[in-house]
Structure 1
Amino acid sequence: MINPGYVLTMARYNAWQNKQLMVAMEGLSDAALRADRGAFFGSILATANHLLWGDQMWMARFQGTELPAGGIAQSTTLHPTFATWSAARFRMDGRILLWAERVTALDLVGDLSWYSGFMKQDVTRPKGALIVHMFNHQTHHRGQIHAMLTAAGVKAPVSDLFFMPEDGPWL
């Protein structure tokens, strides 16, 4: 389904996109970041927090480390300010990149099992598909943030993969 090159390319894309979103978001006031804009999670900051929490959850599962606190309902308030969110986002993007640099073809086969607090049951799915899901989840919520930034009058960043700087591996 996927290979290590795909994982590294998507990890680079994730970090590049998040860096651009941070620049766009830092020009907004706290009130503008928290304003309910009709998105699934309401505000720009709430959506950014949920996305960060999701990445923390998936990386904990992939790496066998401690899960982040709370569930989906608490994910939107993970970090109360842009400053704390952006610092945590930067660290998470570095963690994802370091992980992606070490992923081997063998890491992408087999199943991953966990208990889903949302579904209230044990779940088992193919690892490769779950990794694709993590990157798809990121893109989905960054798209929501992009739309909210545009609606707030901020020039949202370019998001096309082929515009990503070529300072690293591609597929």
Structure 2
Amino acid sequence: MNEKVIHNIPLRNGKTAQIYQGAFGSGEHETTRACIKHLETMSLSGKKVLDVGCGTGILGICASLLGAKDVYGYDISWEACKTAVECNKLNNISDYHIICGFQDCINGVFDIIFANIYFDILIDISGFIKDSMANGGLLVLSGIPIEFNYDVRAHYIKCGFEVIRLQIHEDFSTVLLKKTSEV
């Protein structure tokens, strides 16, 4: 029987997220690392967080370990969700809720939303993200190929978001935005 490999992700607060290599990554990708760095700089206490396309649950687990009040993640991949649930157990986390399905399975308003997914999906679900975000809430979009970064940013600005920080990585980009209006 194959033993599952556990990857450790040390966090600034001294805790370590443990992730099984599963359907998706284990935290080494430049976009995942950028999202974790954003999480580490945010005040998460009492916050409700959503991870869009949660994969193996890395961002939600990190958010929980960094003090978020309630964390939700969804993914369309059964294998990803199964691994995310296993990772929750590995980290003794009970406030990170994994939902297998599309965005219509999610109902609520979130203070912080992460979406580290394909850029075209980021455009397609922008209405859902806007409607699910509290005014003044923070949004981290990642997984955006550099050549499509402008298009994604321009689209979200039209949706009522303000760009707070843009990071260009080797192949991809990450954008931190704030919801400023109900456009």
- Do the two structures share a fold, i.e. TM-score over 0.5? no
More strand by percentage? 2
Find the structure with the greater CA-based Rg: 1
> Higher relative CO (CA 8 A, sep ≥ 6), structure 1 or 2?
1
> What is the TM-score when the length of structure 1 is the normalising length?
0.29
Structure with higher helix content = 1
Q: TM-score scaled by structure 2?
A: 0.28
